[in-house]
């Protein structure tokens, strides 16, 4: 059996400065296989984005390891981290494309930016940009537009194309559809699901939306207060959650009737268990 594309082992990460540093991740372990989409879910502040940023070497790690292929990101010297990220082996798709795209650059220029940093010839860059725009299902003519001239769905597709032209092994999607309307949300999820088979990508899909997670992921990792409390195949975790926090999360998700599947009394019971420090 081949080694996972991404393997995180017993990761501890603190944020802040000096005595104000607070440990955010408490011994987190996780894997992503090539061609697999893994959902990372949890409440705000649970450590989802901290874990994702750590994979790119954007956070200082207290202990543990982050192996991307045969490279342990935690052992890369600080002076080499910029070069590592420029290699593009792991790429990040942010929540709000309007914030992540340079407002002064056209869509094509944004997609080309990373390729130009690599020093590729102009003709190769132009060809890669055209291929990237086509891959995400957009018309080439949109490449001449600024982000403000594009719809939310178009902007997020451009952000995905910008990541894909660098031919990453791992795509980290941090709430990639939460800023989109329902129609664009479905289209972008379908795009991401199709890309993993076309490119054999591994994806870490961060979301608080269980509907999106259910529709796209193969496996789920549940983070609660910086600790993995549950993981397993998506259907198994969502249909029969074991940990009280996962039960609360799943049971509180809106149904078609607009309410969660658990009543107020059960919700209070689960919250009491969590408050009591249930492991």
Instruction: Note whether 227 and 244 are within 8 A (CB).
Output: no
**Mind listing the pLDDT tens digit for each residue in 52-83?**
999 999 999 999 999 998 899 999 998 898 88
Instruction: Note whether 98 and 147 are within 8 A (CB).
Output: yes
Query: Sheet harboring 227-233: ordered strands across?
Result: 90-93, 170-174, 202-206, 37-41, 219-224, 227-233
Instruction: Note whether 191 and 93 are within 8 A (CB).
Output: no
Residue 129's nearest CA partner among 153, 105, 107 is 107
Give me the mean pLDDT over the 175-200 stretch.
87
Paired strand residues for 206 = 40, 174
Tell me which H or E stretch contains 53. helix 48-55
Can you give the C-alpha Rg of the chain in angstroms? 20
pLDDT at 100 > cutoff 60: yes
pLDDT at 264 > cutoff 90: no
pLDDT at 39 > cutoff 70: yes
For each of the domains in the chain, give its residue range(s) and CATH number, in order of start. 1-87+169-232 (3.40.50.300), 90-167 (no CATH), 241-279 (no CATH)
Residue 8's nearest CA partner among 43, 42, 48 is 48
Tokens of residue 99, six digits: 């914030």
Q: What is the pLDDT of residue 44?
A: 87
pLDDT at 259 > cutoff 60: no
Helices (H) and strands (E) in the chain, counts: 11, 10
Q: Which segment of 27-31, 84-88, 236-240 scores lowest on mean pLDDT?
A: 84-88
Q: What is the pLDDT of residue 274?
A: 63
Q: What is the pLDDT of residue 257?
A: 38
Backbone torsions φ then ψ of 71, nearest 5 degrees:
-110, 125
Statement: the pTM of the whole predicted model exceeds 0.85: yes
* Percentage of residues in the chain having pLDDT higher than 70: 90
């Amino acid at each position: 059996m081949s080694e996972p594309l991404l393997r995180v082992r017993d990761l501890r990460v603190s944020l802040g400065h000096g005595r104000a540093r607070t440990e955010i991740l408490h011994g987190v372990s996780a894997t992503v296989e090539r061609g697999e989409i893994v959902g990372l879910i949890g409440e705000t502040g649970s450590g989802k984005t901290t874990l994702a940023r750590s994979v790119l070497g954007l956070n200082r790690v207290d202990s543990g390891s982050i192996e991307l292929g045969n490279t342990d990101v935690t052992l890369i010297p600080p002076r080499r981290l910029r070069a590592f990220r420029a290699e593009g082996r792991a790429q990040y798709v942010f929540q709000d494309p309007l914030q992540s795209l340079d407002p002064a650059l056209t869509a094509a220029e944004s997609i080309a930016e990373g390729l130009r940093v690599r020093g590729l010839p102009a003709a190769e860059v132009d060809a890669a940009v055209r291929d990237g725009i086509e891959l995400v299902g957009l018309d080439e003519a949109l490449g001449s537009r600024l982000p403000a001239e594009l719809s939310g769905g178009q902007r997020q597709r451009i952000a995905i194309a910008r990541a894909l032209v660098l031919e990453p092994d791992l795509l980290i999607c941090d709430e990639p559809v939460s800023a989109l309307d329902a129609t664009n949300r479905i289209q972008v999820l379908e795009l991401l699901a199709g890309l993993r088979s076309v490119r054999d990508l591994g994806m870490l899909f961060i979301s608080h939306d269980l509907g999106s997670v259910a529709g796209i992921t193969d496996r789920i990792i549940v983070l609660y207060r910086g600790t993995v409390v549950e993981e397993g195949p998506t259907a198994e975790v969502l249909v029969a959650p074991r940990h009280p926090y996962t039960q609360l999360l799943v049971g509180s998700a809106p149904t078609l009737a607009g309410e969660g599947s658990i009543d107020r009394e059960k919700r209070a019971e689960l919250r009491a268990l969590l408050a009591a420090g249930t492991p």
